[in-house]
Structure formats: C-alpha cells, structure tokens
Amino acid sequence: MIPGRWLHRFASFWCGTATREQIVEPLLSDFQHQWIEARGGRVMTLLRGYLAFWQTLALCTLRGGWHWLLTAPSRITFERIFVWAYAVGIVLVIVFGFAWVRTGTLDSTAGLVAIRKLIATFGPGLFLSHYWPRARRLQTRTLVLFGFASGIALGYWIDSDGHLGPVLYNLLYLPLVWNPLAWAVTRFHYRRPRSVK
Amino acid sequence: MNSSLPRLSHTEQLILSLLSEGETFGLDLVDRSDGRIKRGTVYVTLARMQQKGYLASRVEAANPGAIGLPRRLYQPTALGLRVMHAWALAARAFAGQLPQEV
C-alpha cells in the first residue's frame, strides 16, 4: 500500500483547502513518487517523508495561527485565544506531568502540586478577565466576582507552601499584565473596526 | 506606482535560479540545492512565492494506472524572473562589479 494516504486524510481534516492543495498535496505526491522509485532504503524514505510532513504541518499551523491572531475581528477573540491557549497549556502540563511521573523524572506529589499551583495561579484571573467583559447585569457581575473570589480562596488553600503567592499573583497580574496587554492590543491592533465575513 | 524593489530571500532567489533552468517539482529542488533548501520548508516557501506572483504551478497530468497523488510542477513567472535579475544586478552593484552612476 502506498504511504501517505492516512496523512492526506489527516491534512484534509486539519488544513484549509488552499494549504492542502498548495503545500500538503505537493509534499505527499513527491513523497509517494520517491517511495515508488526507491529501490532500496525504503525505510529511510518513509522516515524522511513523515518527518517532512510533520515539520511542514507544524509550520503551516504556526503560520495559520499567527495569521488568525492578527486578523481576529475583536478583542473578545483575542481573549478567547488566550484562554484557549491557557487551557491547552494545562492539558499539556497534565499529559507531560503524568508521563514524567511514570518515568520517574518527576515525583508524583511534586507533579500534582505543580499542576494545582498552575491552575490556582492563573485560573481565577483568567476567569475574571474572560467573563467580566461579557457580564452586563449586576447579578452576573456579582456571580463573576464571587467565582473570582472563590478561585483565589481555593488557590490559598491549595498552595500549602506559600499561601499568598497565587492570591497576590491573581490580584497583581490583572492590573500589571493582562490589562496593559489587552489595552495595547486593542489600541495598536484593533484600532480600526474590521469587517467580519 | 510603487517602484521599490520587491523582497526576495536567499532561499527564494535560489529557488528561482533553479527553476529558471526548467519546470520541476519541490523534492527535485531540494536534491539540487546541496542542502541549502530543506524538505520541511520548501513547500511552504513555494506556496508563498506563488502568492507573491513569482511562481506558477500546475498539476502533472496523471498517467492511466498511476498510483499516488499527481505531482505539482513549478515554473517562474515573468515577474519572478525580473525580480531575480534585479536582485542579481543589485548584488553585483553592491559588490562593485558594475559602474555606479553619480
């Protein structure tokens, strides 16, 4: 069976039409022709082909993500990207954390504390910055503030070594990091209203 | 009209120079570049050059009974060749091989 069929199916799901036609399909067609023409050393041909595919796909994903970030229609979209990146970060930490614990690279207690600290440190602040702009009614705003306070309290309880670390970070990072960043993006990038297709 | 010289990276220059010898596909460019063009990035570069209008491409006609995807063949456009020659002239002028007008 000719290689690259599964990669082609994956690329059809993952990439846009232009990327698939202009970048992925030429790569796969060259890979398949090279594999057909290879008399010996087909394993190396396969490895090189697969490596090139994943390198190219990673590059396309980075370029696509950056382009999407630059052309995002509003600050809300920017916030959504940030929150999603945070969620993906947590998932990655959990996945790699378990892998490290299993291989003995990381002590299991230290790994769990690291994950809980990560959630306690960034979670409440992100929750507030994500939901506060959307909350219009007084009840909703109260609920958001209550959620934020609960998150901080939970962070205080979770971090047994330095109680005040997550609390201070949550209180400081909003005015010192998130708000200036959001202001800068709004001021310099989303200055003009963009048309949404 | 914008008279500034369009940008052309070293890799793009090399690709145009290889393609000026004849229409070919991406992997052949990698093989002929002595390692200067990488297989993991060549297709992204080729797609970008097409967007800039430096290259044109077509999908190879599939032979009956052929297996696999048809190859995409690339060739330089007139604009691509003009930009390449302009950059070559600029490089030679910078190196002092051409008389400079005062």
Q: What is the pLDDT of residue A197?
A: 41
Band the pLDDT of B98: cuts 50, 70, 90. Answer: low
DSSP letter string over B17-64?
A: HHHTT--B-HHHHHHHTTTSS-TTTHHHHHHHHHHHTSEEEEEPPPPT
- Name every chain B residue with its beta carbon within 8 A of the beta carbon of A33: 27, 68, 71
A4 Cβ neighbours under 8 A, 6+ residues apart:
A28, A31, A32, A35, A49, A53, B68, B69
Which one of A102-111, B5-14, B89-98 scores highest in mean pLDDT?
B5-14
- pLDDT for A2: 85
Interface residue ranges in chain A relative to chain B, Cβ cutoff 8 Å: 2, 4, 8, 19, 22-34, 36, 48, 51-52, 55-56, 59-60, 63
Buried-state track A67-85, b at ≥16 Cβ within 10 A, e below 16: eeeeebeeeeebbeebeee
pLDDT tens for B16-75 read: 999 999 999 999 999 999 989 999 889 999 999 999 999 999 999 877 777 889 999 999
Mean pLDDT (chain B, rounded): 88
pLDDT in tens, chain A (197 residues): 788 889 999 888 888 888 899 999 999 999 999 999 887 778 888 999 999 999 898 888 878 777 766 666 565 666 666 667 666 766 666 666 666 666 666 666 666 666 666 677 677 777 777 777 777 788 888 888 888 888 777 776 766 565 566 666 666 666 666 666 666 666 665 555 444 44
**Binary contact (B26, A55; C-beta < 8 A):** no
> Between A25-37 and A5-14, two packed helices, what is the crossing angle to 10 degrees?
180
Rg (CA), chain A: 23
Q: Do A29 and B50 touch (CB under 8 A)?
A: no
Probe site for chain A from B39, B45, B63, B67 (most A CB atoms < 10 A): B39
Does residue A190 or residue B5 have the better pLDDT?
A: B5
Q: Which of B27, B44, B68 sits opposite A56 (nearest CB)?
A: B44
Domain residue limits, chain B: 10-61+69-92
What tokens does A186 get?
């709004």
Spans of all domains in chain A? 5-70, 75-189
Shortest CA gap A6–chain B (Å): 12
Please tell me the predicted confidence (pLDDT) of residue A158.
65
Q: Report the residue of B44, B51, B55, B67 to disrupt the A interface, i.e. the one with the largest count of A CBs within 10 Å.
A: B44
Q: Please give the ipTM for the structure prediction.
A: 0.86
Give B93's pLDDT tier (boundaries 50, 70, 90): confident
**Can you tell me the distance from the alpha carbon of B81 to that of B15, in angstroms, rounded to the nearest whole number?**
11
Cross-chain residue pair A26–B41, CB shorter than 8 Å: no
Rounded to whole angstroms, the Cα distance separating A35 from B65 reads 17
pLDDT at B12: 94
Q: Output the CATH code of domain B10-61+69-92.
A: 1.10.10.10
Residue showing tokens 């044109």: B56
* Whole-number pLDDT of residue A26: 95
